Amino acid sequence: MNLSEHIEQFRKQYPQIRPFEEEDDVEWFNQGFDLLKAGKLDQAEKTFAKLALAQPDHSDGFEGLGLVYEEKGELLKAEMFLREAARKIERMVREGSMNAIFLNRIRSDVDRVLGKQPSPAIPPSPK
């Protein structure tokens, strides 16, 4: 599944969430990271999915989902969501609404996930 398909799946799960209309987004951010730290990954995933739907132009929900998927061992999904968070942060840094230190942090997250993924199999050289 690609990113758009995941987002559409979240929309079906949470049809009541409307972009830019939610007042719980800061609470969801804090709750999501508390759940992640506590190892409650399924609950954290649901919370970050709601945040990503409520604030689709911001990185927090996507970053949180990436970190959840990393903890679950779903590294391709983790990379996809962390890269999306990085794209959003890059835009925000260019616009001056976010400090570049956050971009460095998310890039480190992506690099860490990439380091956990197995390298593609290299075919044996012909004899």
Q: Write down the pLDDT at residue 126.
A: 52
Q: How far apart (Å, rounded) are the C-alpha atoms in residues 89 and 101?
A: 10
CATH number of 3-116: 1.25.40.10
No. of helices (H) and no. of strands (E), the chain: 6, 0
The CA R_g of the chain, rounded to the nearest whole Å, is 16
- φ/ψ of 56, rounded to 5, equals -65, -15
- Tens place of pLDDT per residue across the chain (127 aa): 999 999 999 999 999 999 988 777 889 999 999 999 999 999 999 999 999 999 999 999 999 999 999 999 999 999 999 999 999 999 999 999 999 999 999 999 999 998 987 755 545 545 5
d(CA 91, CA 54): 18
Helix (H, G, I), strand (E, B) or coil at 84: helix
Hey, where are the domains in the chain? 3-116
Which pTM value belongs to this model? 0.88
